[in-house]
Amino acid sequence: MRRSASTPRATSPPATGKDSLISRYVATFVNRRDRYLTSGAETSWFSKKSRLTNRVLESALRGHISLGLYATAEDGMSRWMAIDCDDDSSARKILANAHLLPANSYLIERSRRGLHLVKLFDPAIPWQAAQRYGLAFAHKAGCDGVEVFPKNGTFSAIRAPMTPHPLTKRIYDWIDADGQILDPWDTLLALTPTPIPEHWLNEPPQPEPSREMHRELPGIFGQLDTGSLLPRGDHHELMFEVMKLTTMRYYSRNKARGLCPWHPDTRPSLAVVEGYFRCFSSHCGVNGGVLAWRKLARERGIMPR
Ligand SMILES: [Zn+2]
């Protein structure tokens, strides 16, 4: 299911088996087809009271139009709940807790800022149960206050997975809980919606007390800890320079990570370990020691103070 970060992004359904992929998409995500949201050339959503046909859907999946899907069907039932994190701190917490959900029963898609997490249910459940489940998951992850869908039993909607953002017109990657980019069509076929545990349909369980999550995302430091990433300069000197341009968070004495200032970063892609920095975004990838950092700052017009 994983693919290398350099593989071009698949933005439209593969020609082979296209119809069955679209059916799969509809069965997985579409709660109602009598209306949908779109944005046309505009940057804000509007509701379109016409049928969401496969043709409309395919146009959105090809990136031609924006598409918003309602979180609730006409009968008040939902096939999913979605969490919309628009800041990196809550996105990190959601990623760190995604393993609590049944494997393959959810997807994570990056967005303009942060990410969407969509947990799928089969059979469909009353929208209130979907909402309770979403709120409780957000609470458990330590992100009370993030947007949770369904917001109500009627017309709350979220951007359809694999379709362009109305503002940026970009289609965003699906990622796993480690932040690795997934092939969305392969992943769609592997998605397995699960029944909601029965107690959620009746009384909501008491949420556990919130606790701060300090887990680091797995992988990023491990990749830097190879011992062969020379030249290593003075860690504190590098951190001093780095923190003039971005906020970093320490995970141990000589490990820190934060938003990369050298590309539009939506998750903390920049790691600094023992005097060496590296951005793990496939589009950026800057790396080096303190001299390289200062050179970047000079070349890109951000002079250290
Ligand atoms: Zn970067």
**pTM to 2 decimal places:** 0.63
Distance from the alpha carbon of residue 267 to the mean position of ligand 1, in angstroms: 10
Distance from the alpha carbon of residue 192 to the mean position of ligand 1, in angstroms: 34
Distance from the alpha carbon of residue 187 to the mean position of ligand 1, in angstroms: 26
Q: In CATH, what class is 211-299?
A: alpha beta
pLDDT digits over 43-73, tens only? 678 888 899 999 999 999 999 999 999 999 9
CB contact at 8 A, 124 and 198: no
18-201: CATH topology = DNA primase, PRIM domain (3.90.920)
Distance from the alpha carbon of residue 10 to the mean position of ligand 1, in angstroms: 22
Distance from the alpha carbon of residue 284 to the mean position of ligand 1, in angstroms: 4
Q: Is the dihedral of CA 222, 295, 5, 13 positive or negative?
A: positive
For residue 129, which of 84, 73, 193, 77 has the smallest C-alpha distance?
Answer: 77
Distance from the alpha carbon of residue 266 to the mean position of ligand 1, in angstroms: 10
Distance from the alpha carbon of residue 134 to the mean position of ligand 1, in angstroms: 31
Distance from the alpha carbon of residue 282 to the mean position of ligand 1, in angstroms: 8
pLDDT digits over 289-303, tens only? 888 898 888 877 654
Collect all residues with Cβ–Cβ distance below 8 Å to 181 and sequence separation of at least 6.
2, 3, 5, 173, 174, 175, 282
Separation of alpha carbons 269 and 278, rounded Å: 8
pLDDT digits over 115-125, tens only? 999 999 999 99
Distance from the alpha carbon of residue 286 to the mean position of ligand 1, in angstroms: 6
Domains of the chain by residue range: 18-201, 211-299
Distance from the alpha carbon of residue 42 to the mean position of ligand 1, in angstroms: 30
Distance from the alpha carbon of residue 144 to the mean position of ligand 1, in angstroms: 29
pLDDT digits over 165-178, tens only? 988 889 999 999 99
pLDDT digits over 72-113, tens only? 998 889 999 999 998 999 999 999 999 999 999 999 999 988
What is the mean predicted confidence (pLDDT) over 139-152? Answer: 88
